[in-house]
Chain A
Amino acid sequence: MNKPELLAPAGSLEKLKFALLYGADAVYLGGTMFGLRANASNFTLKELKEGVEFAHNLHKKVYVTVNIALHTSELNALTNYLKELDQIGIDAIIISDPAIISLAKENTNLELHLSTQQSTLNYEAVKFWKEEGITRIVLGRETTSEEIMEIKKHVDIEIECFIHGAMCASYSGRCVLSNFLTARDSNRGGCSQICRWDFDLLDKGGKALIGEKPFTFCTKDLSLLAYIPDMIDIGITSFKIEGRMRSIYYIATVVDIYRKVIDEYMQQKENYEYNKEYEKVLANCANRDSVPQFFDGSEGVECQYYNGRVEISNQDFLGLILDYQDGYAVIEERNYFKVGDMVEFFGPNIDTFQMKIEEIIDETGETIDIVRHPKQVVKVKVNKPLYPNDFMRIKK
């Protein structure tokens, strides 16, 4: 049984570093061209080079999305871009448009992964792409565990599946609501998430069908935390987390939890016990409900947000650890905290622990009770050592 790859989103160089430090085996990101998250910070070639060096020094990988629906005028520029990606040493590109296959083969040595935009859901399609030289398929998010098993049975190829994050309400690639309602091209990086808007629903005679809440396409998020052992047993190569627009705190928290679950199962498969506490951490970190969606075959009314979604601004992230000196953590504030609060520290080099805040010292050396200014740097007495880039969060 091979250990799966934990693949995290990197919307910026900072997020790339946090994702890898917190346990991702690889990251995926967009360059400034041809990627589907036109509004993420994205990477210049210079940043990309730095990101690749950072990842490779940790023996980890970087994949670049080149997955927009291409237009004819872009094909020439694309060839040069692919050559540059190849020179930088990225580990694979994620494509949806097969025009790229021949361009990449003729001009580069890039490994090719097929994007979920192709909505690959069956083994005949997987066989086709394998014969074309694609080395990994990111399956459509509508596949169930049985379907993935059957695909694995028929084709020996790397399979990547989403395990966590937001879902498209449609088949990927088959929604252009953004194009029609906001003139932003959803298959070219401009998705304006019309699926989260409210609409009035009428029957064919024009009579309004009024529920307690208006109609929406909005789906709950995906979380397959409880199914990680099943996914490992199926032999899925890569477990993908969605969210290139998410914060460093979100990325670190989600990666940290999935890393723990994968490692715990791999280390003692026979005696593995699912830790429900991890679910709570993910739930606290997210601002939306999550369900297994299609994976367990239970997709239905419970996967939708018809009853109104509550997107609470996340206040859990209290501070980022900048340093640790003489029993005091130097912390940059992100949300209000005070003496007496129960908090929790986590990071890639420590075991998560809780404590009650007993002493806070501000920049001038004065003892204070409350930290309420954004990015204020304070010292908090902590008995266990901490490291830069550890996090302090609320203990719920």
Chain B
Amino acid sequence: MERHINAPMNIEESKTLRAGDYVYITGTIYTARDAAHKRMYESLEKGEALPLEIKQNIIYYMGPSPAREGRPIGSAGPTTASRMDKYTPALLDLGLIGMIGKGKRSEAVKEAIVRNGAVYFAAVGGAGALLSKAIKSSEVIAYDDLGTEAIRRLEVDNFPVIVVIDSEGNNLYETAIADYLDYNEKAIDK
């Protein structure tokens, strides 16, 4: 099913999304990848404030290439989400509503998604030039010293993603692969 949503997003909306939905996101999202997650996690352990509001927000696991003159951002596709798995349940429990990345998630992340009514989206990996066209502005808001890994606030317009894990724990990576396993034999049987 094709859906259009705004970011930030509340839990009621998040719970209507289903694994396999093709979703266009418009609004404000934030980037954070390996080094920013590590730093946020360390801040939480020390009881310090995070540099962004987590509640109802969507984090995009992405570190862009540099922008050419006159452009908001360079190439901007998703990075592998599983590297953030260690830090993710804590952020979900703080109210993080969505994540955009690519690739498998751990069981602990899936449980935290279900527990908090959140959602995990995949963007098409390796489509950084195309995806950059849906990003209208980009501003570093924290951890500038991390370069490409800094936290950025992005304004996005119809940013295309697919729901992989929904708030009920359905996982598109598992179901879709089963549909096409040994495809040719199945076709012959039919």
Q: Do A and B assemble together? A: no
B interface, CB within 8 angstroms of A: none
Residues in chain A within 8 A of chain B (CB atoms): none
